[in-house]
Amino acid sequence: MAMTMIFNGRAKASSENNALVPVVYYYSTVAFVETPLTYLKGSIPLTKEEALQRNHYRFTYDELHRLTSISFYNGNTPRDPNHTANHFTLAHRIEFTYESDKEKINFYGIAGQQIDVMGGCRAFVYYLDDKGFRKSLHFINGEGEKVQNAWDIYKYQWTYLDDGGIIEDRFDKFGKPVSIRPGFKFYRLKLYFDSLGYIALMQNIDKDGNLTENSSGASQDRITINADGNFLQWEVLDNNSELEKGNGPNVAIGIQEINAYGYEVGLEQRDENNEPIYNHYGICRSRTDYDRFGNIVERRFYDEENSPSSHKFAGYHKLKIKWDSMGNRRDSLSYYDVEDRPTEHHTRGYHMVKYTYNDENLLQKISYLDVHGNLVNRKDTGAAYMEYGYDDNGQRSDVSLFDSTGKIIR
């Protein structure tokens, strides 16, 4: 029987055949990431015993202490990442391989099959400079070809500056600059990181390196992250480093409260005068509750005075999510007003979403119901229910939409 110990961050094995074994660490969340330049890290370490009772990530390292995989589980049940993920934690399992001049990331589903992410990307490939730092990133499809991702980004390129900053450029397949992501109109970025390697400041700059305000008046995002890598606050700034309402949410400050597992339990938006404000998406404040597995079970909205209020556009105060007894399958999602009475989502037109699964535990049907429990056509898509099909590998292969009379609409 092999006994593994850690010396100076490397795995050592003691046995008659001197076998080396991987080392696994357990975390409740993944550290915040704003750019794929940042290396993925776990946040809020768990013991193995605690992890096996709830949702968690498993970070596996080889004998050289290189990250080889990240996977998400509830106990020992494979799951797709939930609210605990970041922008680049995109599958149940992520595998990393290394060469002298590149790093490659592949993605796998809960059935073990390799999958595409971000609109047809089978793999991410980082190219390294002569010092071993990431200098560029391309996205590869199933045929081994370079492709654009779902954000229309074909290539990331990084330039390291003498002042400690890093310039990030993003281009589409025609060589045209692309914003950081949809709804976030920063193009050429100058990035600064804190002492632990977490993003601290993003500046929108022109070709000469000068700060440039976008159409919302924003040119900088100052970000506060704690030592565990959990996101706490963002501040939107103009060229003079003054607070400015801007970018997607159109607020100046966003403040996130987290619990012991790194989960968001409170979120508040503020204006340039540090006063509570509703954001562009219709939310001022929110509070979120979780079950013992770490699944979201309830979210509520509040106004500037911190009184219970409704979402400005969707019209509900509270959403409730019900899970199966093991916390693996979502059974339903429903909406309620400030009096805890069933209500309908104003822009979608239904009160409840009901989820049905097949014998292989795969999602088979999603139904939309009104406050009386009857099928209702969504206002946005016209669908009253959706049915999914799967191939022999458990990969989702098709989806059909039906109206409340059972007529197929797509």
Closest Cα to residue 246, out of 277, 285, 286, 209? 277
Task: Tell me, yes or no, whether 152 lies in a domain.
Answer: no
Rounded Cα gap, residues 336 and 316, in angstroms: 6
Domain-embedded: residue 34:
yes
Task: Confirm whether 206 is domain-assigned.
Answer: no
Q: State the Cα–Cα distance between residues 317 and 65, nearest whole angstrom.
A: 47
Q: What is the spatial distance between Cα 127 and Cα 122, in angstroms, rounded to a whole number?
A: 17
Hey, how many other C-beta atoms are within 10 angstroms of the C-beta on 228? Answer: 19
Question: What pLDDT, on the 0 to 100 scale, is given for residue 19?
Answer: 58
pTM for the structure as a whole: 0.92
User: What confidence score (pLDDT) does residue 262 get?
Assistant: 98
Query: Looking at the domain assignment, is residue 5 inside a domain?
Result: yes
Is 55 within a domain? yes
**What is the block-wise mean pLDDT of the chain (410 residues), using blocks of 10 residues?**
37 48 95 97 98 98 96 97 95 97 96 93 97 98 97 98 96 97 95 97 97 96 97 98 95 98 98 97 98 98 98 98 97 98 98 96 96 98 96 84 96
Residue 241: the pLDDT is 97
If you count them, how many residues does the chain have? Answer: 410
Residue 409 resides in a domain: no
Helices (H), 203-275: none
Q: For the chain, how many structural domains are there in total?
A: 1
Phi/psi for 51 (5° steps) reads -60, -40
53 domain residue, yes or no: yes
Please give the Cα distance from 177 to 165 (Å, whole number): 20
CA distance 177 to 117: 22
Query: For residue 162, is it within any domain?
Result: no
DSSP symbols for 336-379: E-TTS-B---TTT--SEEEEEE-TTS-EEEEEEE-TTS-B---T
- What does the pLDDT read at residue 384? 98
Helix (H) or strand (E) holding 104: strand 102-108
Instruction: State the Cα angle at 42 between 112 and 28, rounded to 5°.
Output: 80
Buried b (16+ CB within 10 A) or exposed e, 192-222: bbeeeebbbbbbbbeeeeebbbeebbbbbbb
In this prediction, residue 109 carries a pLDDT of 92
Domain that residue 1 falls in: 1-115
